[in-house]
C-alpha cells in the first residue's frame, strides 16, 4: 500500500506517538485522522473512508484492549481495513490476541518509522472480493454472495453480515438469526479447516438467498470433499466424549435440508418459513 493520498487513522492518546506519526503521514501526502478513544475511532471509521489504522494497544479493562475491540468492530462490519498495532512493551499474549483477531502486523516502541513504512508498503489492502455482494431481486428477495480467504477470523463477520441482511427482509424472525450464525460457524469453518486445510490462499464462496418463505445458503470450498454419507454419529457412546464431530449434526437441527454436492466441497442449507 502506497501512502500517497490515503486516509490514515491513528487511534492513540499518546501525544508523542501521534505527533511522530502525523508528521510523517503528512510528509508522504497522506491524510492523518486521530482518535483518542474507541468511540471516536468508530465515528471516524463510519464517516471517513479509512485505508489504514495504526492503533496503540491500550488496555480498556483488565482483560481487553481498545485495539482488540477495534479489530472486532472491523471484522464484524466486514470492513477489512488493515490495522497495525503499536505496543508499549513486548507482551506475547497481546500480540497473539491481536494477530488472531486479524491485526496486520505489530510494532513495539521505540520503533523506526522507516520499518513501519516498509511494512505498510507490503500490506495488500483488500482481503475480500466486494463486487456484487448484495443484490435485490424483484423487491422481495435478496441475494448475498461473498468470497473470502480461508481465515477463521472472517467466519463470524460473514455470519453477522448475512444475519443483518436477513433482518432487513425478516425483522420478526429473530430466532432464524441463530440458525444463520450457527451455519456460518459450522459450515464455513468446516470449509476453511477441512476443505481448504487452512490454506489462506484458497477461497470459500458463500451465497445466501433470502426469500419471503425460505432461506438458502450455499458454501463452496476448493477442497476434495469428504465422506458425508458415513459421518460418525456423535451421540454414539464411542464418540460422545470426542471434542469434535458435532458440527454437521448440530446444523441439521437448525435447517430443514442439508445437501452435499461436488463430493462434499459444496454444502447447501435450506430453511423454510411458514
Residues of the shown chain interacting with another protein in the complex, contacts defined by CB under 8 A: 72, 75, 100-101, 153, 155-156, 159, 178, 181-182, 184-186, 189, 234-235, 240-247, 249-250, 253
Helix/strand/coil for 38 = helix
**CB of residue 195 to another protein, shortest distance in Å:** 16
Secondary structure letter of residue 264 according to DSSP: G
Residue (25 or 188) nearer to another protein, CB: 188
**CB of residue 243 to another protein, shortest distance in Å:** 4
DSSP per-residue letters across 39-85: HHHHHHHHHS---EEEEE--BSSSS-BHHHHHHHHHHHTT----EEE
Q: CA 73 to CA 177: how far, in whole Å?
A: 19
What are the cell numbers at 141? 428477495
Residue (223 or 247) nearer to another protein, CB: 247
Residue (230 or 237) nearer to another protein, CB: 237
Residue 245: CB atoms within 10 A of its CB come to 12
Nearest to 33 by CA among 22, 47, 17: 22
Residue (135 or 252) nearer to another protein, CB: 252
Q: CA 35 to CA 9: how far, in whole Å?
A: 7
Q: CA 68 to CA 101: how far, in whole Å?
A: 7
Helix/strand/coil for 103 = coil
Residue (67 or 185) nearer to another protein, CB: 185
**CB of residue 250 to another protein, shortest distance in Å:** 5
Any bridge partners for residue 223, and if so which? none
**CB of residue 30 to another protein, shortest distance in Å:** 31
Chain position carrying cell 485495539: 67
Residue (156 or 225) nearer to another protein, CB: 156
Q: CA 86 to CA 112: how far, in whole Å?
A: 12
**CB of residue 73 to another protein, shortest distance in Å:** 11
Residue (9 or 155) nearer to another protein, CB: 155
**CB of residue 127 to another protein, shortest distance in Å:** 17
**CB of residue 155 to another protein, shortest distance in Å:** 6
Amino acid at each position: 500500500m502506497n501512502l500517497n493520498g490515503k486516509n490514515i487513522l491513528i487511534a492513540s492518546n499518546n501525544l508523542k506517538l501521534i505527533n511522530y506519526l502525523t508528521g510523517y503521514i503528512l510528509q508522504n501526502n497522506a491524510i492523518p485522522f486521530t482518535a483518542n478513544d474507541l468511540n471516536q475511532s468508530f465515528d471516524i471509521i463510519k464517516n471517513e473512508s479509512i485505508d489504514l489504522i495504526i492503533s496503540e494497544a491500550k488496555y480498556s479493562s483488565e482483560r481487553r484492549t481498545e485495539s482488540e475491540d477495534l479489530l472486532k468492530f472491523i471484522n464484524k462490519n466486514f470492513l477489512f481495513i488493515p490495522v497495525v498495532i503499536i505496543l508499549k512493551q513486548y507482551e506475547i499474549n497481546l500480540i497473539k490476541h491481536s494477530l488472531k483477531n486479524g491485526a496486520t502486523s505489530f510494532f513495539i516502541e521505540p520503533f523506526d518509522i522507516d520499518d513501519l513504512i516498509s511494512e505498510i508498503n507490503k500490506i495488500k489492502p483488500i482481503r475480500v472480493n466486494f463486487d456484487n455482494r448484495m443484490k435485490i431481486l424483484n423487491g422481495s428477495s435478496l441475494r448475498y454472495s461473498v468470497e473470502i480467504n480461508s481465515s477463521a477470523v472472517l467466519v463470524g463477520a460473514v455470519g453477522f453480515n448475512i444475519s443483518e441482511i436477513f433482518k432487513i427482509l425478516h425483522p420478526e424472525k429473530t430466532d432464524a438469526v441463530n440458525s444463520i450464525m450457527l451455519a456460518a460457524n459450522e459450515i464455513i469453518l468446516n470449509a476453511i479447516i477441512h476443505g481448504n486445510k487452512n490454506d489462506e490462499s484458497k477461497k470459500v464462496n458463500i451465497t445466501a438467498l433470502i426469500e419471503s418463505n425460505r432461506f438458502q445458503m450455499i458454501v463452496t470450498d476448493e477442497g476434495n470433499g469428504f465422506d458425508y454419507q458415513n459421518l460418525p454419529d456423535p451421540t454414539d457412546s464411542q464418540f460422545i466424549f470426542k471434542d469434535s464431530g458435532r458440527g454437521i449434526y448440530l446444523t441439521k437441527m437448525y435447517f430443514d435440508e442439508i445437501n452435499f454436492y461436488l463430493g462434499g466441497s459444496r454444502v447447501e442449507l435450506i430453511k423454510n418459513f411458514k
